[in-house]
Amino acid sequence: MKFNLKRILILFISLFVIGSVAIETSVHTVSGDSLHLKDYTNEITNLNEPYKFIKTDYFKPITHLTFTNKPVTRYYQLTLKKVKMSPDGFERTVWSVNGQHPGPLIQANKGDRLVINVTNHFDDPATVHWHGMFQHGTNWYDGVPGQTQCPIPNDVSLVYNFSTTDQHGTYWYHSHFFAQYVDGLRGSLVIHDPDDPYLKQYDFEYLVMLSDWHHNTTGVLLPLQDAPGYSGFRPIPDSPLISGLGRYNCTAAPPGSKCNSDQPLPVYNVKKNKKYRFRIINSAADGVFVFSIDQHKLKVIESEGIYLKPTIIKKLPVAVGQRYSVIVDANQPVGNYFIRGTLDKRCTPNNNATINFNSAIDWDGLGILHYEGAKNSPNSKEFDDDFTPCRDLDKKHLKPIKPITKYDGHVTDFVNITITFGADKNQRLEALINNSSFVPQLNDPTINKITRDIAAKDLPKDQNSVILNHNGGIAEIYVKNDNNADHPFHMHGHVFAIMFVGEKGDVPDESKYNKKNPVVRDTVTIPGNGFLVIRFITDNPGVWAFHCHIEWHVEIGMVMGIIELQDTLKKETIPEDVVALCLEHDLQKRTTRKMLNAIVINEIRSDD
């Protein structure tokens, strides 16, 4: 009861504060008078190209795209709309994509172009980030408000248009606007490869999108975490979801809520002696998922677009933002076997000040691997752990199929980063990167500043800029983690090579760096009180977020902006319709109070 009262009070205060803060925000005018707000809904018909509105059944094998001789352009429609859904039996509003959660699968073949019309009917601003896509030459389609674009206002569409050149594998997309993806805006993205060395080794392909799930919206949760004096950890979820399905014990639901405890388990159908590629994506706000299928070992073949030397494991730990492909051989007796998408409780800190600390969550997310013809109900036994808890899958399972040697060269830029937590002057929790907490400037993203010829060194301090100017150079980033928490860090626009992951007590020692055959990926866990050394090639002009993928840490500022090759970037022309979003954003900001719901938290923080 007390808890609820506190929550209501905070919300009230927040709502009161918007009125005064939003008006003060300076209005940035974009130069050029030809700018107008494009109505893309009209233009779609002119383009004469069908933006395909699709839905994806995550429990059916993916329909393969036929490989074409030449790359083609694929058009998709993503319509964002809030709908009532009951992913785990508990009904709440979900920020859906094409009416579903997770959103539909977007797929292409290597080299294809993706043209995706995002129509926002959320009643809130939104963006879509294509997690893992390099966006070479199209930084403004990376979907990061405050860094690469202004948010898409309600009832406005934006066409994202990017090439998939040099990429293949398992990706995903999600909102990057506040914690909106945690409320539902997330989906899968797969780039097929005709030259995939494993193509012949499986018969069917399945998607497994793992996420944690909260019964409260992030509009409720974030102000709680942002309350002065908050001394808990990240909000505890209410259930784990496997491809959007979970279960909840409704006796714990607040009276009056619509809740059904008898949710069916998600079922993946297989045929005896067929082989299945499972593409596993951790799209959670927080938390390490452990994926396994009883009695079926997993052959790991891909991590985040990199083909791996195949190795066999029983259980697959997946940190937030990471993806894997495994091949599963349906070679066991015809039957039903449990699929386990377990949120690893050991990696989720809790205390009794933590939001939803007494959650009725069942951490063991379950699904069923159903063999055609099987009648028995599953009673299979879980494998024992064969991994280190709260750590990434061991590097011995992550060896690229051929060693990737290009990171073993002259380092042109060394960057040192230290991450800690602190409190601002109002005793609100903040994450500090080299002593500075990131605050996005939603109405004037960094890329706009760079193209207006503002030098990267003159960006506001709270943009946490890392400036890299060597075209084709090698940047080495050393991240020292000065706190107990493990942080899964993700870099936009790149994959990176992992030179070393240091545990507490380890000291950096270049002679131990894995330069000859490094693990290469785009999301990596930095151990609590440990460190990380990565390298990447600075060949992609842009403003690239580098951040912890625990959304609750993003929201308190654990974000950096890599400003890469600014001299090239500043010469680029941001498409007119992308720039125009900034005008509209301001217009709405000054006129519509309702849409600011989600902005509240940040405005208060940046007003310090």
| Site residues (vs ligand C2O, CB under 6 A) | 129, 131, 174, 176, 321, 490, 492, 545, 547, 549
Tell me whether residue 143 or residue 240 sits nearer to ligand C2O (CB atom): 143
What whole-number distance in Å separates Cα of residue 342 and Cα of residue 288? 8
Which partner in ligand C2O, Cu ion, none is near 174 (CB below 5 to 8 A by kind)? ligand C2O
Contact 61, 205 (CB under 8 A): yes
Closest C-alpha to 378, from 386, 387, 367, 365: 367
Tell me whether residue 247 or residue 492 sits nearer to ligand C2O (CB atom): 492
Interface pick for Cu ion out of 293, 550, 563, 569 (rule CB under 5 A): 550
Build a one-symbol-per-residue string for 487-526: x at contacts with Cu ion by CB under 5 A, - elsewhere. x---------------------------------------
Minimum CB distance to ligand C2O, residue 185 (Å):
11
Contact 285, 550 (CB under 8 A): yes
Contact 334, 376 (CB under 8 A): no
**Shortest Cβ contact with Cu ion: which residue?**
548
Residue 355, C-beta contacts closer than 8 angstroms, at least 6 positions apart: 221, 224, 225, 232, 234, 235, 236
Minimum CB distance to Cu ion, residue 296 (Å):
32
Which partner in Cu ion, ligand C2O, none is near 550 (CB below 5 to 8 A by kind)? Cu ion
User: Within 436-572, where are the H helices?
Assistant: 446-451, 551-554, 566-569
Minimum CB distance to ligand C2O, residue 440 (Å):
12
Minimum CB distance to ligand C2O, residue 519 (Å):
19
Minimum CB distance to ligand C2O, residue 295 (Å):
33
- Cβ count within 10 A of residue 351: 9
CA trace torsion 151, 153, 157, 161 (10° rounding) = -10
Minimum CB distance to ligand C2O, residue 469 (Å):
23
Tell me whether residue 227 or residue 550 sits nearer to ligand C2O (CB atom): 550
Contact 113, 71 (CB under 8 A): yes
Give the containing element (helix H, strand E) for 158. Answer: strand 156-163
Tell me whether residue 227 or residue 532 sits nearer to ligand C2O (CB atom): 532
Q: Is 189 in the site for Cu ion (CB under 5 A)?
A: no
Which partner in ligand C2O, Cu ion, none is near 168 (CB below 5 to 8 A by kind)? none
Q: Is 559 in the site for Cu ion (CB under 5 A)?
A: no
Minimum CB distance to Cu ion, residue 390 (Å):
12
Tell me whether residue 215 or residue 487 sits nearer to Cu ion (CB atom): 487
Which partner in ligand C2O, Cu ion, none is near 131 (CB below 5 to 8 A by kind)? ligand C2O
Contact 296, 337 (CB under 8 A): yes
What are the tokens at 471?
């075209």
Residue type at 170? Answer: T
Q: What is the residue whose two structure tokens read 């890329």?
A: 447
What are the tokens at 474?
């090698």
Tell me whether residue 371 or residue 496 sits nearer to ligand C2O (CB atom): 496
Q: Is 296 in the site for Cu ion (CB under 5 A)?
A: no
What whole-number distance in Å separates Cα of residue 515 and Cα of residue 526? 19
Contact 504, 393 (CB under 8 A): no
Minimum CB distance to ligand C2O, residue 549 (Å):
6
Which partner in Cu ion, ligand C2O, none is near 490 (CB below 5 to 8 A by kind)? ligand C2O
Residue type at 292? Answer: S
Q: Is 176 in the site for Cu ion (CB under 5 A)?
A: no
Minimum CB distance to ligand C2O, residue 522 (Å):
9
Phi, psi of 558 (to 5 degrees): -85, 65
Minimum CB distance to ligand C2O, residue 176 (Å):
6
| Subset of 471-490 contacting Cu ion (CB under 5 A) | 487
Q: What is the residue whose two structure tokens read 């979820």?
A: 237
What are the tokens at 296?
């079926």
Closest C-alpha to 132, from 169, 95, 84: 169
Closest C-alpha to 562, from 536, 528, 583: 536
Minimum CB distance to ligand C2O, residue 559 (Å):
8
Rounded CA Rg of the chain: 23
Contact 292, 314 (CB under 8 A): yes
DSSP 346: G
The Cα-based distances of 391 to 75, 76, 285 in angstroms read 38, 36, 17
Tell me whether residue 275 or residue 487 sits nearer to Cu ion (CB atom): 487
CB neighbour class for 34 (10 Å; exposed up to 12, middle 13-18, buried from 19): exposed
Query: How many residues contact Cu ion, by CB under 5 A?
Result: 4
Q: Is 535 in the site for Cu ion (CB under 5 A)?
A: no
Tell me whether residue 376 or residue 484 sits nearer to Cu ion (CB atom): 484
Which partner in Cu ion, ligand C2O, none is near 101 (CB below 5 to 8 A by kind)? none
Which partner in Cu ion, ligand C2O, none is near 456 (CB below 5 to 8 A by kind)? none
Tell me whether residue 380 or residue 446 sits nearer to ligand C2O (CB atom): 446
Which partner in ligand C2O, Cu ion, none is near 129 (CB below 5 to 8 A by kind)? ligand C2O
Which partner in Cu ion, ligand C2O, none is near 553 (CB below 5 to 8 A by kind)? Cu ion
**Shortest Cβ contact with ligand C2O: which residue?**
131
Tell me whether residue 162 or residue 230 sits nearer to ligand C2O (CB atom): 162
What whole-number distance in Å separates Cα of residue 309 and Cα of residue 300? 8
For binding to Cu ion (CB under 5 A), which residues are involved?
Answer: 487, 548, 550, 553
